[in-house]
Amino acid sequence: MNIFYNQSSDKIKEIIINFGSNIFKSLELDKLSEEEVIKKYGSYSNNINTEEIEEEYEKKIKSITDNHEIRIHTLQERLNDFEINKDKTISERLKSEQKLYELEKKNLNDVIIQLKENNRLTELIEDKICDKKEFNNPTEQGDYVEKIFDEIVEEGLKYDPQATIHDTSDYGGSGDRLIKFSNGNVLMIEVKNKDTIKKSDVDEFKKCYEKDFRENKIDCALFFSYRTTQIPNVCKAIIPKYFEDGKVLYFGIDDIPNDNYQKINKRKNMENIIEIAYNSTNDRKTKRLNENTSNVDIYNNYLSILTSHKDSYNKELRESQKKTKQIEEKLSDNDKKMNNLYRDIQTRDIKVDNTLLDDKLYKAHLIERIKVWKTSSKNGNSREWKKHCIDELKLSERDISKIKNIKIGELN
């Protein structure tokens, strides 16, 4: 034994030592004292019973094997239980995630519907208070003002609720509209919606009203200019100007820059001019005025109407301003909701319809996120800050396309 050991390599010697140590422990000699080990080893050496040793080894091996099999069986059962519970847990988790997804989807749809409704309301409000300046064609441009006259009469004149208005723009002569009052009087209106009135416009108007007067179709003719008071070769019609013994009336309204309520104010003037024409026609049928006194009465009549309506207009204006303030508050609240929604869409990378997004607002939110990142990241001032930002914030494809166009100056 010693000769074999001495002639062995270091690796084999290490194996012999480990093997001997394992046998030493297997025989439980490590639990005995030195004297007992020597004594027992001597008995082994003097009287070695190979069968007993093998039997003892087999018992110990069987014991170890049985213990391992029990442990393996226990672990296998635990593994099976884990697999069963895993499938159940995953199924329940999927159901929960599905419910959460459906709820978020419904909430987003509700928000989108509300945003569309708010946008529609905003468009309606803007249409009511903001004056339109651009048109697709001359016909649409002319119809715009004519339809305001239609609305005024169809909603009911305070002094003549039974009055009716008729479209004559497609017929030769008789202007663009005829207003028939309940007392039998008829007002012809020629409408112009352009920055510059031409002499030919006035000549055409004169040709129409002369024919209608000859045929006794009308009692009064109104030339109305929606954007300028300058009527070439006639007058500057800042206030109503009468001609032809008071039967022909010219009136214009100048555009006022940055007047958000210009459409409302112009409509009030249009209501006034109809009433002035109505009153002047009545007066002309009851008495004839000479030119000197008629001009004074015209001014007095117009001043009386404006004075009587002043309180009413101020009241309506206050109510309009109150409604405008309420709408502005609603729009402000809507903007806050949109800001929160945009922030959620970006951070969670929600795949919404791009046509519903406001690029400027979306980019503004992205810039704010990048500003926060730059102050907190060690790569915030790096030359390759965009690359680091994309990686660290895990930006979506949409965000990556936006960040490419963001300049460093926009982050200051």
Asked whether the predicted pLDDT for residue 156 surpasses 90, the reply is yes
What radius of gyration, in Å, describes the C-alpha atoms of the chain?
49
Q: Please give the helix or strand (H or E) that residue 16 lies within, else none.
A: helix 10-26
Q: What's the chain's length in residues? A: 412
The answer for residues whose C-beta is within 8 angstroms of residue 191's C-beta and 6 or more apart is: 142, 145, 146, 149, 175, 176, 177, 224, 226
Residues 271, 160 contacting (CB under 8 angstroms) = no
247 vs 111, residue with greater confidence? 247
Specify the CATH number of the domain 138-288.
3.40.1350
3-state secondary structure 109-140: HHHHHHHHHHHHHHHHHHHHHCCCCCCCCHHH
Which pLDDT tens digit goes with each residue over 109-149?
776 777 666 555 545 444 554 565 665 666 677 688 899 99
Asked whether the predicted pLDDT for residue 293 surpasses 60, the reply is no
C-alpha 294, offset from chain centre: 58
The domain segmentation of the chain, as residue ranges, is 138-288, 335-411
Asked whether the predicted pLDDT for residue 185 surpasses 80, the reply is yes
> Phi, psi (5° rounding) for residue 56?
-65, -40
Asked whether the predicted pLDDT for residue 360 surpasses 50, the reply is yes
Strands 220-225 and 186-192: parallel
Nearest CA to 412 among 368, 366, 365? 368
Q: How many whole angstroms separate alpha carbon 212 and alpha carbon 174?
A: 6
Q: How many whole angstroms separate alpha carbon 410 and alpha carbon 412?
A: 6
Residue 403 banded pLDDT, cuts 50, 70, 90: confident
Residues 146, 167 contacting (CB under 8 angstroms) = yes
No. of helices (H) and no. of strands (E), the chain? 11, 8
Residue 163 banded pLDDT, cuts 50, 70, 90: very high
Residue indicated by tokens 């468009």: 123
Tokens of residue 53, six digits: 């040793």
Query: What single letter denotes the amino acid at residue 195?
Result: D
Asked whether the predicted pLDDT for residue 289 surpasses 50, the reply is no
Query: What single letter denotes the amino acid at residue 210?
Result: E
Q: Please give the helix or strand (H or E) that residue 398 lies within, else none.
A: helix 397-403
Q: What is the pTM of this model?
A: 0.42
Q: Is 217 helix (H, G, I), strand (E, B) or coil?
A: coil
